[in-house]
Amino acid sequence: MTDRDVARLFDPRVLLGEPTTLWLLGGAVALLAIAPLAFLIAPKSLQPELWQRWRTWLVIAAVTLGPIALGAAATILSVAVLGLLCYREFARATGLFRNRLTSATVALAIGLTFFAAIDNYYAFFVALFPLSVGAIALAGVLPDRPDGFIQRTALATLAYGLFGSGLAHLAFFANNYDYRALLIWLLVATELNDIFAFTAGKVIGGRKFVPRTSPNKTLGGAVGAVVLTSATAMPLAMWVFAGTVAGQWYHALVLAVMISVLGQCGDLLLSSVKRDLGLKDLGTLLPGHGGLLDRCDSLVLVAPAVFHYIGYLHGIGGDETQRLFSAGLF
Amino acid sequence: MDQWTFQPASDLDESVTRRLGSVRREPGLFGWAVHALTASAAAGYMRLYHRLTVRGSEHLPDDPPAIIVANHTSHLDAAAITAALPRCLRREAFSLAADDYFFRTTFRSACAAIAINALPMRRGKAVRQALADLRRRMENGHCLLIVFPEGTRSRTGTLAEFKCGVGMLVAGLSVPIVPAWIDGAHRALPPGKRCPRPAKLEVRFGPTLDFAETPNKRDGWQHVADRCFDAVHQLSDAVN
């Protein structure tokens, strides 16, 4: 492991040499600080809920931005914990957690995928998807209970795809030396997109988009979110990726539209899961928001899509040491 | 093709801390793994230190749900019953523990819930609601419950009268009830003592009882309590 690897993984002082990251962090903190001003114009009946949501946002910001600032190891570890907690929530909501062998296999597959991420071992990272699906299917066979085999295997595969392989793309970004600005941009843009969709939906309204899946979503909200997110995330992307191919205005626009559209699709995807289960929230971990998945649903599709787009343009983790930990094993 | 059915965790709407002290608690992978470890450790301790022997295992069902009713003379009782179960049932076993003692603080709740897989038994006015919650849990399956119907540990080691609560829990339920007698626990760790002596323990299981047809009202509750008492008492006579 080179000094550069150690610095990327463990040294938070690298942050001080990244003015873009410092500005982004400052902006995110400032946004959180001034958010309560908006509560002044909200109806009084909504205020207790808004304050509760805001307090939860402070915790979310601390546990997401904190590890990103600390280093790549903390970042990857925290996304791994997020993936496992999201899986736990999904498994408890669907009842998959009662199939312990299948559940343990998914948890192991998620752990291995994040190991591949911290190892910067992309070939293994890619190979783990088919290998994990095979292992999950086998775990469904071993208890010798063919009843419900398809259901538990399909649920487990979906869960691994979304919260293991999908979210691990977020962690793999940390294999770039200058990952901090990129990740903060991605997270801020995704969360802003949620807020824009909610606000535009309330202000513009219009025809119900998918009333049976998510009764509050309107076409006005969806289009408004795309416009507002593009207007915000695109210039930010041009600044964050300045000097690289992704910094071109058209690539920045594609990335911003991608975040908005896929963010809303992820939201709808988890809404469909909730409607099918007949549940309002998938958990209780985040007061005012519901479960962890109610907050992270937008990320599950955005992370792999943005990863592969940026990866196509200029690669991710290619300049850093590959197989950091596994190279010495054999 | 049949419609798929999903069964979300019954404690899904409860916060993490409330879940620890909830009758509806369903352990996830982590809680289950910790309980499997502690139950195996307890089984090892029981077999090595107390030379635990088991009789009548053939009366135990292959899968949950089931309720085991046993005499109660010692803090070792729940661990002795758990250790006497086959491994596949041991991991699914919950024992009822006094809410006002084992679930008084979050820390105690976490220890009781994760390490010994206890479910809270409320006393006083809350007992009816607690029993109703437990009945619902048994109806949904996924649970092997260890119950001590005397309500508290016997100070003398003799079997005390069974409370009607056991009847409120099982009358009208089509869940097998397995009577059990724990022999030697009072010699090993009677109430008031802190350190267990290496006394020999034996757990005897009896033929299952069925109260599916018993009416779920006062007469039925008393009938259940009496039948369970007789069944457990008969097991004590098996040696004495």
Cα–chain center distance at A287: 19
- Taking an 8 Å cut-off on Cβ atoms, the answer to whether B28 and A92 are in contact is yes
Asked whether the bond before B65 is cis by omega within 30 degrees of 0, the reply is yes
Number of helical (H) and strand (E) elements in chain A, helices listed first: 13, 2
- CA within 13 Å, CB half, A96: 29
What is the reported pLDDT for A160? 97
Write down the pLDDT at residue B137: 83
B26 contacts A104? CB cut-off 8 A = no
Q: What is the pLDDT of residue B129?
A: 81
**Subunit contact A94:B29, Cβ cutoff 8 A:** no
pLDDT at B52: 94
Rounded Cα gap, residues B134 and B168, in angstroms:
10
Distance from C-alpha of B203 to C-alpha of B57, rounded to nearest angstrom: 9
The DSSP string of A121-141 is -HHHHHHHHHHHHHHHHHHHH
- For residue B69, what is the enclosing H or E element? strand B66-70
pTM: 0.87
User: Which is nearest to A168 in space by CA: A218, A111, A106, A91?
Assistant: A111
Name the H helices within chain A. 3-10, 19-39, 47-70, 72-94, 100-118, 122-141, 149-159, 167-172, 179-203, 219-240, 249-277, 292-296, 299-314
Contact status, residue B80 vs residue B185, Cβ threshold 8 Å = yes
Chain B residues whose CB is inside 8 A of the A285 CB are 16
Closest partner residue to A277 (CB to CB) among B8, B14, B26 is B8
> Nearest 5 degrees, angle CA B86-CA B101-CA B181?
35
Interatomic CA distance for residues A303 and A292, integer angstroms: 16
Distance separating alpha carbons of residues A92 and A141, to the nearest angstrom: 21
The rounded average pLDDT for each run of 10 residues, N- to C-terminus, in chain B (240 residues) is 73 84 85 87 93 93 91 92 90 85 86 84 77 83 86 87 88 91 92 90 94 88 93 79
Count CB atoms within 10 A of the CB of residue B117.
26
The predicted pLDDT at position B238 comes to: 62
Q: Residue B157 has which token pair?
A: 């080691």
Cα–Cα distance between B144 and B163 in angstroms, integer?
20
Q: What is the pLDDT, as a whole number, of residue B88?
A: 83
With tokens 């931005």, the residue in question is A65
Measure B222 CA to nearest chain A CA, in Å: 35
A151 chain-B contacts, CB cut-off 8 A: 4
Contact list, A107 vs chain B (CB under 8 Å)? 29
The amino acid present at A37, given as its one-letter code, is: L
| Integer angstrom CA distances of residue A106 from A101, A139, A169, B37 | 9, 9, 17, 21
Task: Give A283's contacts in chain B (Cβ within 8 Å).
Answer: 12
Show Cβ contacts of residue A178 under 8 Å, excluding neighbours closer than 6 positions. A18, A21
Asked if residue B23 lies in contact with residue B130, where contact means CB atoms within 8 angstroms, the answer is yes
Which residue do the tokens 């399956």 mark?
B141
Residues A220 and A33: their CA atoms lie apart, in Å, by: 28
Which H, E and C letters describe B145-174, residue by residue? EEECCCCCCCCCCCCCCCCCHHHHHHCCCC
Q: Classify strands A208-210 and A214-218 as parallel, antiparallel or unpaired.
A: antiparallel
Within 13 Å of residue A142, how many CA atoms lie on the same side as its CB? 12
Contact list in B for residue A92 (CB cut-off 8 A) is 8-9, 12, 26, 28
Task: Check CB contact under 8 Å for B12 and A103.
Answer: no
Cβ contact, residue pair A98, B29, below 8 Å: no
ipTM over 0.90: no
What residues in B contact A88, CB-CB < 8 Å?
28-29
The secondary element (H helix, E strand) that includes residue A22 is helix A19-39
| Distance between CA atoms of residues A318 and B42, nearest Å | 51
Could you tell me the two tokens for A322?
């590959």
Q: Is residue A141 within 8 Å of residue A275, measured between CB atoms?
A: no
Q: Encode pLDDT of B18-38 as tens digits.
A: 888 888 888 888 888 888 888
Low-confidence ranges of chain A (pLDDT < 70): 288-289, 330
Distance, CA of B95 to CA of B88 (rounded, Å): 16
**Lookup result for tokens 């009789």:** B55
Q: What count of other Cβ atoms lies within 10 Å of the Cβ of residue B100? A: 12
Which burial class, exposed, middle or buried, applies to A42 when counting CB atoms under 10 A from its CB (0-12, 13-18, 19+)? Answer: exposed
Q: Do A277 and B9 touch (CB under 8 A)?
A: no
In angstroms, what separates the C-alpha of B10 from chain A's closest C-alpha?
A: 9
Contacting A with CB below 8 Å, chain B residues are 4, 6-9, 12-16, 26, 28-29, 32, 142
Neighbours of A12 (CB within 10 A): 15
Positive or negative, the CA dihedral A210, A214, A216, A218 is: negative
